[in-house]
Amino acid sequence: MKIAERYKLIFNWEGIRYEGNIAYFKSAAFTGPVLTNTARILPNDHIELDFTKQNLNSSIFLSNYYYIAKLSWGDIIYKPWGIELFDCKVEHFKTGSLKELKDGMKFFIDCSKHEQHVHYKHLVYVAWVTNESGEELN
């Protein structure tokens, strides 16, 4: 995972439950350096996360599949340390597109292609799932 520090957005949570392909999060939040230079995040919104790079070994083959998940939230509260998210969930539509998520894991999201002048060209955010230590899952 290579994300320039200034473009790093981190999604974390403390509590998760699954209903089919939807994971519901408790105590979810965005943190990270990118929040100091970003437009305000709106309530009742979502972003599409692309986990393809984590799930694909391109030295062996090129996949026909993309590993896209939709991260959505309801209300938000801006805090000094980040953004608290309520009614937060992630939906993934391809079996195996996300590792089994557990408390302590995080999403690292690359926002480098989402500056205002180029955001409209990029529909998804490249992302990775990590364990509690920040190590990328294989």
Strand order in the sheet with 88-92: 16-19, 22-25, 88-92, 68-73, 45-50, 125-130, 106-110, 8-12, 28-31, 82-85, 76-79
Amino acid 117: pLDDT: 45
Task: Supply the Cα-derived Rg of the chain in whole angstroms.
Answer: 14
> Distance between terminal CA atoms of the chain?
11
Domain assignment present for 136: no
| 46 neighbors 70 (Cβ within 8 angstroms) | yes
Confidence at residue 114, expressed as pLDDT on a 0 to 100 scale:
53
Does residue 138 form part of some domain? no
Q: Is the pLDDT of residue 65 over 60?
A: no
Query: Considering the domain boundaries, does residue 34 fall inside one?
Result: yes
Least confident of 50-59, 64-73, 78-87, 99-108: 50-59
Kindly state whether residue 19 falls inside one of the protein's structural domains: yes
**Is residue 62 included in any domain, yes or no?**
yes
Mean pLDDT calculated for residue range 25-43: 90
Does 135 map to a domain?
Answer: no
Residue 115 lies in a domain: yes
Q: What domain range is 125 assigned to?
A: 5-130
The domain tally of the chain equals: 1
pLDDT for 93-104, tens place per residue? 655 556 578 888
* CA pair distance 110, 129, nearest whole angstrom: 12
Domain-located, residue 137: no
Q: Average the pLDDT over 47-59 and give the result.
A: 70
Share of the chain above pLDDT 90, in %: 33
